[in-house]
Amino acid sequence: MENRKKVIICGGTGFIGSHTSVELLSQGYQVVIADNLSNSERDILDRIETLSGHVPIFEEVDLTDEQACDRFFERHSNTSAVIHFAAFKAVGESVNKPLMYYKNNLQSTVNILRNMDRLSIPNFIFSSSATVYGDCEELPITEKSPILPASSPYGKTKQINESIIEDTFKAENNLAAAISLRYFNPIGGHLSGELGEVPIGPPNNLMPYITQTAIGVREQLSVFGNDYPTPDGTCIRDYIHVVDLAKAHLVALERLINKKNKSFYEIFNLGTGNGFSVMDVIKSFEKMAGQKLNYTFAPRRAGDQAATYADVTKAKNELGWVAELSIDEMTSSAWKWEQNYRRNLS
């Protein structure tokens, strides 16, 4: 009776993984989530079920544990594809704990790919990042922009993972094709307010810092630098709504399953193609939340680039995907989630 295609989502209870799980389940895929819950809560599974109307299969598994990973894949060998989000992602922490990052973010990929080959699971989608472009000054950033040295061990794990994937799919084996999706700055949450980002400890990223300040968990947002060579002096980024991003995974998955890919390994930038400054994000937030944000200008943060934004032509032409949600929808959905999440905590 079960003829829905099965997809394994590694790291499926995390920020982007959970939104992608909702999209896939809503489209009729059977979703198996593998996650060690190191940076997420088990109750995200209930939220995924409520929003999609379907129950994901969940297995708490550490994918860096070779034997545990083998056993997990053996239980789910009849799978069409694997989407791999499971990784540590705090840039600053990776500078202080490089080995923890290399072990976690690389070992899991090696274990997953080895099992996919062994069990003939053909398709793979990797959660990559614009951080692989390093300090790229050429704007907008295209998929052909140079891969410059990454400024953190976190960024290096994304670069090395991409090489591992390309080399593996190039070799003769039981694998078919892979796609790396290079995200720019994912923010926002499910439009219902029922799913979003849950940073553990003080957030490093702008959007959760804004919403936590607005709700009173943090006293003040520091805007890192207002003397950059940008129109208002604050850094420019290509913010992309997490729901748009999740939908891009669905499109990439169908491209692989339907064998529409043009080579064994493809790369796509995922952004809106538009740059917004830190002040633009704050102004959008204030407008959508209907309240002023307590912020102050602070010195530049080490390692920040003045501006980055994507050329998204390739995703548009090849995947037929474009981001649809606006900066106001990003800030309002992030705020809706923050309020909802705190309400449930109290």
Q: Say if residues 239 and 185 touch (Cβ distance below 8 Å).
A: yes
Quote the least distance from Cβ 189 to ligand UDP, whole Å: 15
Q: Is the dihedral of CA 13, 162, 270, 149 positive or negative?
A: positive
Q: Which of 29, 154, 209, 228 is catalytic?
A: 154
For residues 297 and 279, give the distance between their C-alpha atoms in angstroms, rounded to a whole number.
10
| 35-43 contacts, C-beta under 8 A, 24 or more apart | 35/10, 35/11, 35/60, 35/61, 35/86, 36/60, 36/61, 36/62, 36/63, 36/86, 37/13, 38/88, 39/14, 39/88, 39/89, 39/200, 40/13, 40/14, 40/198, 41/13, 41/198, 42/13
Q: Which is nearer to ligand UDP, 17 or 155 (CB)?
A: 155
Q: Which is nearer to ligand UDP, 84 or 89 (CB)?
A: 89
Q: Which residues bind ligand UDP (CB under 6 A)?
A: 185, 204-206, 209, 221-224, 235, 237, 278, 301, 304
Quote the least distance from Cβ 1 to ligand UDP, whole Å: 45
Backbone angles phi, psi at 270, to 5 degrees: -125, 110
The residue with its CB nearest to ligand UDP is: 235
Active-site residue flag, 154: yes
Q: Which is nearer to ligand UDP, 97 or 301 (CB)?
A: 301
Q: Report strand pairing: 276-277 vs 236-237.
A: antiparallel
Q: Which is nearer to ligand UDP, 61 or 334 (CB)?
A: 334
Q: Which is nearer to ligand UDP, 27 or 222 (CB)?
A: 222
Angle at the Cα of 309 from the Cα atoms of 91 and 307, rounded to 5 degrees? 70
Taking alpha carbons only, the member of 71, 67, 90, 181 closest to residue 130 is: 181
Residue type at 176 in one-letter notation: A
What is the DSSP secondary-structure string of 300-311?
PPTT--SB--B-
Q: Which is nearer to ligand UDP, 8 or 223 (CB)?
A: 223
Catalytic residues: 154
